Each structure stands twice: as structure tokens, then as C-alpha cells.
Amino acid sequence: MKYRIGFAGTPAFARTILQTSLDAGHRPVLVLTQPDRPTGRGKRPRASPVKALAESAGLNVATPSSLEPEDSRAIIAAAALDVLVVAAYGLILPAEVLALPCHGCVNVHASLLPRWRGAAPVERAIMAGDKRAGVCIMQMNEGLDTGDVLAREAMHIGSRMTGAELENALAEIGARLLLETLPRLHDAEAVPQQGEPSYAHKLTATDAVIDWSRPASDIQRQVRALAHRRTAWSCLGDLRVRVFETEERPRTQAHTADTPPGTILAAGKDGIDVLCGDVPLRLKKLALNRGKGTILNVAAVLNGFADTFAAGRRFR
């Protein structure tokens, strides 16, 4: 059964789902995405990944900053949609919008609901140490990711998987689940969510700051979750150090009970060992706020900053 489909999404996660839908012959009559945002050092406006794809495919694109105004809702009403597919759109859909499509609005959500309702389910799952993640196709209502579930699929979170890698895997699952769900949407059974909900609050600048008094395993998960996004960071003197890869190290005799967390215990070509709240953490890939800020392995960093990362120096 063919539907008049609308699509609402913004980042790369949503772009993957839109591309897979297009490849399968589901061509949305309307694409909603957030307005262009200033990015990069020049702060030039840049189209969202979804907008770039939609325009290249010749789709009808709208970029309202809110769906509350009547003219924004009129754009959706004029499309006469059977269903609106939503994936990481980033704007709240008012009740009036939810009611416009004949079969309502369905959301491709990157978590095993009711765990991690909200804006940052991928990162929060890794930071919390979850062993499993997944995707739910959810019939949307006025609550925050509280709707009944039409389909779900789980996957294992690898011990070294980054947030970007997990999101890419979940996007592929979500795209496939959506294609399986759309043909049976008119008679699909929606199952209420069961279990204690948790909330994936939007990431803030504070989430990226490394607190060396925490256990090494916590910091390692923080680094994995945020790599290539906000990126976990700390300051060493006047250097701002972004951390992209780490590994836990066994406790050594390189420090005493009085050695404060954040102290560099050793630095060599294999890594920079920093004391955390329990055991050391080895930093393996870094970027500095110098030059182009390129991601470097530790050997390259020490070539230019050996004294800065000398044993005894302390991150703050």
C-alpha cells in the first residue's frame, strides 16, 4: 500500500533513513528539517544533512524554526499526508500537527523505549554503560517519546564502539525497520511501552568536560560517547586537549595515595597515562587547540609537546 509520506529530520542519522527510503521508492511529498545553522570557524550557514540530500533529490523542502505558527502547520496540511515519518527532527510536534496525517506521525527513535526517551539516547546509553541499544518505531503522541511501539530491534554495544559508530549502526536498523513497518501501517499492532522510563537529556558543554576524579571506566565511556561530536576535553596548562581514544591501565607504583587525579604518570609513544579516581587511563589519540586541531596519535603529540605532557604535570 502506497502512502503520501512526509519526512521530518535533521542530522546524519535522519539522512540515512531518508536515503534508504528513497532507494526503496518511498519519495516524500514534503521534507521538514531545521533551518541552516552557522558552523565552522567562519560561522557560515550550512544546510542540515537532510536538507542537502532532499534538495539534491529534488524534494519539496521546508525549514520552519517552529511548528507552532499557523503558517508552518499550513505547509503540512497542504501536503495532505497519510503519514509523517520523524527521525531526530529536533522540533516539538504540536497536537495540531500530530493530528494532520491520516495515519498520524511515526518516529524512528534510537533507543529501546522506554529507556532513553529524549534528545541524546545514543550518547547516554554509552555513558551509562548499557550493554544493549536499539531502535523503536513509535506511534507519536503528545508526550516525550511516550507513544506505543510498532516495531523494535536490539543490538549489542561493542566495548570500544563510539557514539558515531553506534548511531550509524542504529540508523541502518531504523531504516530497515521503517521499510518493514510502512506497508502494514494501516493494521499494525502498536504495543504500549513497558518498564521504568529514563531520559536522555540534551548534551551540554558540561557533559564534555573530563572530571579526573571519576573512575577511569566512566571517563573512557565519556570519551567513546562523545568522540567526533562535542568531544571530551580537559586543560593542561594553557592547552585545551580533546581526547578521542583511551584505554584503562592497571594500577602501578608511579603514584602515591596523595597523588591527585589528573596527574600524568608517564608519557611515551604508546600513550599518556593519567591518574583517574581509581586507576590510570591511557590517552592514545588527541587534538590540541593549536594549528589545525588535527587528531594525532600520542607519538606525534609528544614530538612537539614532550615537556607539556611530562610526568608530574596535571590536567585540570
pLDDT of residue 1: 64
Q: Is there a domain that residue 113 lies in?
A: yes
| Domain shared by 254 and 289, yes or no | yes
Q: Looking at 200, 221, 256, which one is the last position of a domain?
A: 200
Query: Pairing relation of β-strands 271-275 and 264-268?
Result: antiparallel
Summarize pLDDT for 139-167 with one digit per residue, the tens: 999 999 999 999 999 999 999 999 999 99
| Domain shared by 196 and 209, yes or no | no
- Cell numbers found for residue 276: 583517574
CA 115 to chain centre: 15
| Domain shared by 56 and 123, yes or no | yes
pLDDT of residue 230: 86
Provide the whole-model pTM. 0.94
Identity at 150, one-letter amino acid code: L
| Domain shared by 189 and 229, yes or no | no
Query: What residues are paired with 191 via a beta bridge?
Result: 149
Q: Is there a domain that residue 316 lies in?
A: no
pLDDT of residue 187: 85
Question: In 3D, which of 10, 15, 80 has the Cα closest to residue 48?
Answer: 10
Find the mean pLDDT for residues 256-284.
93
| Domain shared by 215 and 188, yes or no | no
Identity at 108, one-letter amino acid code: V
Tell me the CATH number at 287. 3.10.25.10
CA 79 – CA 57 distance, rounded (Å): 18
Beta-carbon neighbour count of residue 53 at 10 Å? 22
Q: Is there a domain that residue 315 lies in?
A: no
- Cell numbers found for residue 42: 567562519
pLDDT of residue 105: 97
CB-count burial class (<10 Å; 0-12, 13-18, 19+) for 131 = exposed
Query: What residues are paired with 107 via a beta bridge?
Result: 86, 138
| Domain shared by 26 and 134, yes or no | yes
Tell me the residue range of the domain where 176 lies. Answer: 5-200
Number of domains in the chain: 2
- pLDDT of residue 291 exceeding 80, the answer is no
Find the mean pLDDT for residues 260-282.
95
| Domain shared by 125 and 266, yes or no | no
Summarize pLDDT for 168-192 with one digit per residue, the tens: 999 999 999 999 999 988 888 999 9
Q: Looking at 200, 229, 252, which one is the last position of a domain?
A: 200
| Domain shared by 268 and 249, yes or no | yes
CA 236 – CA 241 distance, rounded (Å): 7
CA geometry: angle 236, 238, 243, nearest 5 deg: 45
Q: Looking at 200, 221, 249, which one is the last position of a domain?
A: 200
Contact 178, 135 (CB under 8 A): no
Question: In 3D, which of 234, 216, 185 has the Cα closest to residue 280?
Answer: 216
| Domain shared by 188 and 214, yes or no | no
Query: Pairing relation of β-strands 5-9 and 83-87?
Result: parallel
pLDDT of residue 83: 97
- pLDDT of residue 257 exceeding 80, the answer is no
- pLDDT of residue 255 exceeding 70, the answer is no
Q: Is there a domain that residue 311 lies in?
A: no
- pLDDT of residue 292 exceeding 90, the answer is no
What integer best gives the mean pLDDT of the chain? Answer: 94
Share of the chain above pLDDT 70, in %: 97
Tell me the CATH number at 29. 3.40.50.170
- pLDDT of residue 27 exceeding 90, the answer is yes
- pLDDT of residue 128 exceeding 70, the answer is yes
